[in-house]
Amino acid sequence: MDVLIRQDLCDEEKGYIQKRLQVVGDCLRSHGIVCKPDEVPRVALLGSGGGERAHISFLGVLRQLGQDNLLDCFLYMAGVSGSTWAMSSLYADAHWSKNAKVTTSSVLKSISEGEDMDFSEGVQWLRKRYEEGDLSLSDAWGVMTCVIKGVPLETRTLSDEGSRDRDGANPYPLYSAIDRAFFDKDKAKRKELWFELSPHEAGFTEPGAFVKTSLLKQDFEGGRVKYSLKRKPMDMVQLQGICGNVFGDEKQNQKHILDWIKKSLLPRSQGEAAPLSGVLKIVMALVELVECHHNMDHCHTVLAKLKSVLGEDYGKFSTTLLELDHEMWTDMDDQKRKQHMENIFEELIGSAEEWGQELNNLNNKLTDVWWVIKHILPLFNEWQSGNVANFLYQINEPKVPEEMCKEDTMHLIDAGLFLNSPYPSVLREARDVDIIVSFDFSEDAPFKSLEGAWHYAAANQRAFPDIDFKALNPESDCPKSFYVFEEEGKPTVIHIPLFNIKNGKDEATIKQDWREYATFQMTYRGKKKIDHLADLAAENVNRDGILKEIRKAAERRKAKH
């Protein structure tokens, strides 16, 4: 079968890890920690979610780890959401960690000075996804991620990294997502939820169902690839759209995508000839209709505007709009209003060839905007995200729950909605991790992700140190910068909150930093603001504390042999 059911690691990861352990051993030796090859501690570096705040903070952390000659102490690097944005840019360089200060500084500079990506470039990428047949909102968000980062589209594939990074130069990268179908309120009991992606393999950590990353987008049936439709491997644009979409916050993601459309539309519209202005008003009204669908009163105002700009013939473009009057709207509840609004939107998109025919003949940026209006805006009604062919479709395997095999498409979304730090991937027994160094950039309480990891480990029989969270609660408003949790026979967990008593000095300053760097405050462009956040995060790198725990882990490994 092309689908593999097992808890062991793939041969390619094992080979990479053996080479990486040699690099780690050499680095530890430079710090006075001498280990035999089978005694080298396995240390994992974790970056949490947190949007652009996590993106910039993780870059600041990695820059400082490089300056302190600590990066090569890490065997794995795993990210969720905003931290994956940093990873995706850095791993474009096959040897980035060898000169981390230069590479991270270059990425930080691109954020502060980055210009908006060419709109047409983004639309061309979306058109290709549409032609493959599984376009979703995550793809639009992947394009938006590059806009936020101030970089061109990152179209290299994740599987390409697996074929060229053979010397163990960088920590082995692990990206994280979850399957929306299994995301529910009873999170801790869902064993099938977590989905990880590496350069070599992708799949569910439980029940241990994996495929080669290069095959991830292909159609499957019964555990085998169907080659009737050959798709290109997942590129980093789509990966970022999946790993960092935070589609649990519908309003925020919608706002940024719609703002991007409006920004691309309005400057052009101001210079268009008069006959086109009415059509552009209709287009803008459609964007506004999607934008305000949570506000039913405003929706009615937009519908009235549509009637006006469509003219006397508006009824032939939308029968629902023709039948709708103020009295009917007033008598309906919000659910019926929402349905009417969606019907009108769909009818106007369906009749766009008639009322928007002038746009179809334009060979410029406006035609790209028009394509987005027709193909991306309708996705907001369906709220489809993370569409990927389900490689477990109709597989007959006792270890795979039947409910995972029913649909031919799965929907991968931001893992931060379940657990905002990628603990599940490094807690796999086969990875045999000794130390987890977790930099937490979450906006929630400073121990929420840590507690979520503790619950996940308990529910899924993963080794994890016992933690007294009641004792930690008094420190929630003003946490320390470095926590160590250890228990014999279990991996040591080092937990590092972003804003703390060390870099924030007091509770008032910590609260001010959180207000200044809110999760959905995009896009950061000021160099001073970006540098300040990266520097604050860098202050949290406790070189001596990390090396102390590595020495202890090395002694434990030595005692086993």
Express each pLDDT in 187-239 by its tens digit. 544 556 799 999 999 999 988 999 999 999 999 999 999 876 678 889 999 99
The two tokens of residue 354 are 């008639």
- Given a cut of 80, is residue 540 above it in pLDDT? yes
pLDDT of residue 552: 97
Sign, CA torsion 147/150/152/156: negative
Per-residue model confidence as pLDDT tens digits over 147-180: 878 788 889 999 887 766 568 999 999 999 998 8
Q: Of 534, 277, 226, nearest to 408 (Cα)?
A: 226
d(CA 410, CA 407): 7
The two tokens of residue 96 are 């980035």
Q: How many residues does the chain have?
A: 561
d(CA 6, CA 3): 10
Across the chain, mean pLDDT equals 85
Asked if the 4-243+392-560 domain carries CATH number 3.40.1090.10, the reply is yes
Distance linking the first and last C-alpha atoms of the chain: 38
- The pLDDT-based confidence of 293 (bands split at 50, 70, 90) is low
- Given a cut of 90, is residue 429 above it in pLDDT? yes
Helices 82-90 and 100-113 sit at what angle, rounded to 10 degrees? Answer: 120
- Given a cut of 90, is residue 263 above it in pLDDT? no
Query: What is the mean predicted confidence (pLDDT) over 508-528?
Result: 80
- Given a cut of 60, is residue 267 above it in pLDDT? no
pLDDT of residue 165: 56
**Amino acid symbol at 127:** R
- The pLDDT-based confidence of 115 (bands split at 50, 70, 90) is low
- Given a cut of 80, is residue 291 above it in pLDDT? no
**Beta strand 224-226 pairing with 219-221:** antiparallel
Alpha helices for 362-480 (secondary structure H): 365-375, 377-382, 423-426, 448-459, 469-472
3-state secondary structure of 157: strand
Query: What is the mean predicted confidence (pLDDT) over 274-286?
Result: 64
> Model's pTM, two decimal places?
0.88
- The pLDDT-based confidence of 273 (bands split at 50, 70, 90) is very low
d(CA 7, CA 379): 37
**Amino acid symbol at 364:** N
pLDDT of residue 210: 97
Which distant-in-sequence residues (6+ apart) come within 8 Å of 240 by Cβ?
A: 84, 85, 88, 141, 142, 145, 146, 154
- Given a cut of 80, is residue 259 above it in pLDDT? no
Which distant-in-sequence residues (6+ apart) come within 8 Å of 24 by Cβ?
A: 40, 41, 43, 72, 73, 74, 75
- The pLDDT-based confidence of 268 (bands split at 50, 70, 90) is very low
Helix-then-strand count for the chain, H and E: 26, 14
- Given a cut of 50, is residue 499 above it in pLDDT? yes
Domain coordinates in residue numbering, the chain: 4-243+392-560, 273-376
